[in-house]
Amino acid sequence: MHSVKVDLNEASTMELVNAAAMIAAELATREAPESPAACLELTETLVAASDMQESALASFIGRVDTAGEQARWGYPSAQAWLRSRLGMRDSRAKERLTLARQRHRLPEVCAQFAAGDLSYGYAVTVADSVARLDDTDCAEAEAILLGIVEQGFSAGKVAAFGRRIRDLIAERDDTEDAPDEDTKRGYDKSWLTTTRSLDGGRYVKGWLNPEDAAIWDGTLAPLAKPAGPDDRRDLPERTAAALSSVLSGGHKASKVTVICDLDTLTGGNAPARLTDGTPIPAAQARRIALAAGVSPLLLGRGNTPLYLGYRERFASAAQRQVLETLYSSCAVRGCEVPGTLCEVDHVHGWALGQSPTDIDQLALTCGWHNRFKHSRPDQVQITKDGDGRYVYRLLPPADARGSTIGTGPPGSIGRPPLDNPALDWAA
């Protein structure tokens, strides 16, 4: 049994957080009471307390995000920090980050949230509903949605009202720009109109029938996916970039790599896999090979120069193909940027003459971590796993080492040592 004494009027924020962490650690080891009625009451009380802690958490996350503190610790975005360092699911990380970024525009929501009068579910629903609205519409939407909450509607219903508010605003803002003749074209034939802007850009508007829409989705949807955790573009921006890539022919450089044994290609039953680790049946691998051809991955044999030494600065296409089979994602532990979107990194730095452009001296890292590694090498620890892949582990900034922050495993940031039988923080 541990003892915690805190003077709420005198304790610092760090002392309060440490005390809350110790209480939570102790509570997690307790068995639930035998009485179901008592468990119901305790659940409601603890959830309400957790919601108020989420209010404080949103404030902390907002300060980290605004200052960009996560970058000093080797994370390209606050979302990547929440997901990789704290082990949050991507959806929960997005929720908390959205709430943190919208707090300053939702004064009434924040006041009710901090007072325990509004649950986390309602608060994050309102924050998500107003995220794409301007400040004027945001204020009106906040009042409307809080009124709906007071009427007893569920968080799901509030989210539906929020989507309807966004739709109405979109229709309002688009009314003046939509010519009447567009509604008279029908839906049988695709059509597209473009208008050049004064600065040399071009406005695009149109309609695709179901057949053309299927072609659009099949071509652009794979190219419009986020490029990684630091990709802050919204879907319209990524779609425009994908369309530009297709029009310029850049998408033709994309490829599919199937990793399999020779026996699989000649009739064996051993499954193959894609570069992201997805297993595929042997028969399907053979069909892909027949349709797309097979590029041999030769490690220094034949006519493919995988070992280039110090003479070449950049990795060859064949080397990159091999690396993409080894690294399904960035070599930095916890980074989920796909290997196909990563850059080839000289593990020990080619510019200093320390690492040749040889396959066993290369790894794949996302662009952000590639720059971070070479600008702050003291914050990257490099090891090899059992399969011969390099693993980069991020270390805390020098000024944070030796403190309770960043010294434990993911999820242990700021947790006080639990071997101290008594912590007395009273004034």
Domain that residue 236 falls in: 190-195+202-243
> What domain count does the chain have?
4
> Is there a domain that residue 14 lies in?
no
Residue 424 is predicted with a pLDDT of 33
90 and 161 part of one domain: yes
Q: Between these two residues, 6 and 294, which has the higher pLDDT value?
A: 6
End-to-end CA distance of the chain: 23
| H helices, E strands: number in the chain | 15, 11
Residue 33 is predicted with a pLDDT of 93
Tell me the angle at which helices 135-150 and 107-115 cross, rounded to the nearest 10 degrees: 40
> Is there a domain that residue 29 lies in?
no
78 and 121 part of one domain: yes
Contacts of 373 (CB under 8 A, 6+ apart): 345, 365, 380, 392
> Is there a domain that residue 19 lies in?
no
**Average pLDDT for residues 120-146, to the nearest whole number?**
92
Residues 209, 190: contact at Cβ < 8 Å?
A: yes
Residue 427 is predicted with a pLDDT of 25
54 and 136 part of one domain: yes
Concatenate the DSSP letters of all residues of 41-109 into one string. Answer: HHHHHHHHHHHHHHHHHHHHHHHHHHHTHHHHTT-SSHHHIIIIIS---HHHHHHHHHHHHHGGG-HHH
Tens-digit pLDDT profile for residues 283-294: 777 666 544 444
CA angle 173, 175, 179 (to 5 degrees): 140
What are the angstrom distances between the C-alpha of 255 and each of 137, 274, 291, 325, 363? 45, 11, 12, 13, 20
Q: How confident is the model at residue 202 (pLDDT cuts 50, 70, 90)?
A: confident
**Average pLDDT for residues 189-195, to the nearest whole number?**
80
Tens-digit pLDDT profile for residues 266-309: 677 888 776 656 677 887 776 665 444 444 333 334 434 344 44
Residue 232 is predicted with a pLDDT of 78
DSSP state of 338: B
Nearest Cα to Cα of residue 193 among 202, 201, 215: 202
Q: How confident is the model at residue 327 (pLDDT cuts 50, 70, 90)?
A: confident
Tens-digit pLDDT profile for residues 49-81: 999 999 999 999 999 999 999 989 999 888 889
pTM of the model: 0.60
- List the single range of 15-24, 38-47, 359-368 with lowest mean pLDDT: 359-368
269 and 376 part of one domain: no
168 and 52 part of one domain: yes
264 and 335 part of one domain: no
* Whole-number average pLDDT of the chain: 77
Residue 119 is predicted with a pLDDT of 92
CA distance 270 to 283: 10
CA distance 307 to 174: 58
Work out the percent of the chain whose per-residue pLDDT is above 70: 72
Q: Between these two residues, 235 and 277, which has the higher pLDDT value?
A: 235
265 and 235 part of one domain: no
Nearest Cα to Cα of residue 384 among 376, 375, 393: 393
135 and 238 part of one domain: no
338's torsion region: left (phi>0), alpha (psi -120 to 50) or beta? beta
Nearest Cα to Cα of residue 335 among 297, 358, 368, 312: 368
Q: How confident is the model at residue 219 (pLDDT cuts 50, 70, 90)?
A: confident
Q: Residue 360: is its pLDDT beyond 60?
A: yes
Q: Residue 409: is its pLDDT beyond 80?
A: no
